[in-house]
Amino acid sequence: MAFYSIKDLEKISGIKAHTIRIWERRYNLIEPQRTSTNIRFYNDDDLKRILNVSILNQNGYKISKIAQMSEAQLRERVIDLCLDTRNTDVQIESLLVAMLEMDEGKFTHVLTNSIIKLGFESTVETILFPFLDRIGILWQAGTINPAQEHFISNLIRQKLIVAIDNEMQNFIPKADKNIVFFLPENELHEIGLLFYSLIARKEGFNVVYLGAAVPIEDLKEVVDVRHADALFTSFVAARKKEELETLMDEIAKSISGIPVFVMGLQIKEVQPAIPKHFKIVTSSQEFKKQLSSF
């Protein structure tokens, strides 16, 4: 069982530590344990309860009413809210709970319900990507452990691979162009890369999928052998601005002026200078437009 400080609860739930303390004293919502040196700490059950309380509170339930609910009633109300796919915050919080519990069934239920109502692409962009951004920040801060992050990332990866396999059953190229999808060295998060390779295939482009941690010298060889017309990459791992700019410059110098589509949390957070032939991708709709004029 993991243990959390009140600051960890704040980071994961979005509820201020001061507010959590008030709820503890006034409503006895959770009860912290203490170390031998009198330091307060919380367990997984406390965190899951705070997440569920946060979902209800954000959706109009008064904290005094929530405090009167049993655990079963609390879960039931949250499940009801999860059925409303318009409320993406609830979906994301529910996926967080599934990750903490390492509950594949709960994760699949939330995701499948969303896919049925919103479609696969919309679910990935409005729910899964914000969810992954959030757990990426929590992981970097040391608030969640690697096993939890790997568990949920691999479940999402499996869903994307199945979607790609289904797409390839009836794949008919619409354009005689090859796009190489890769992640540079020290980049291991493939989910965005897999998703956009699926979009490229749906648009009729030939995809050369290299995956994670590709050395730049090897990339150049693949570009030459496959006569690549474009590259696609993503930056998620934390880097300083100068380091990210240097890496992009190295990629640009290794290829002969072909377009490089680029996305990822670090592009948004760090806002590096972008080389001439690089094109920032922010959504599948934008990527489709970029491909149509490519």
Low-confidence ranges of the chain (pLDDT < 70): 1, 82-83, 85, 137, 140-143
What are the tens digits of pLDDT across the range 244-270? 999 999 999 988 789 999 999 888 888
What are the tens digits of pLDDT across the range 19-28? 999 999 898 8
pLDDT of res. 105: 92
For 283, residues 6+ apart whose C-beta sits below 8 A from its C-beta are: 125
φ/ψ of 261, rounded to 5, equals -80, 135
Torsion angle (degrees, nearest 10) of CA 21, 27, 33, 37: 50
pLDDT of res. 1: 57
pLDDT of res. 185: 92
CATH number of 171-292: 3.40.50.280
φ/ψ of 189, rounded to 5, equals -90, 100
What are 202's strand-pairing partners?
none
199: which 2 tokens? Answer: 């979009």
Alpha-carbon span 73 to 68, nearest angstrom:
9
pLDDT of res. 148: 84
Q: Over the range 147-183, which residues count as b (16 or more CB within 10 Å of their CB) and which as e?
A: ebbebbbebbeebbeebbeeeeeeeeeeeebbbbbbb
Q: Are strands 33-34 and 40-43 parallel, antiparallel or unpaired?
A: antiparallel
CATH topology of domain 3-162: Multidrug-efflux Transporter Regulator; Chain: A; Domain 2 (1.10.1660)
126: which 2 tokens? Answer: 């409005």
Q: Look at residue 279 and give its three-state secondary structure.
A: strand
pLDDT of res. 142: 67
> Hey, where are the domains in the chain?
3-162, 171-292
pLDDT of res. 85: 66
Q: The whole model's pTM is what? A: 0.79
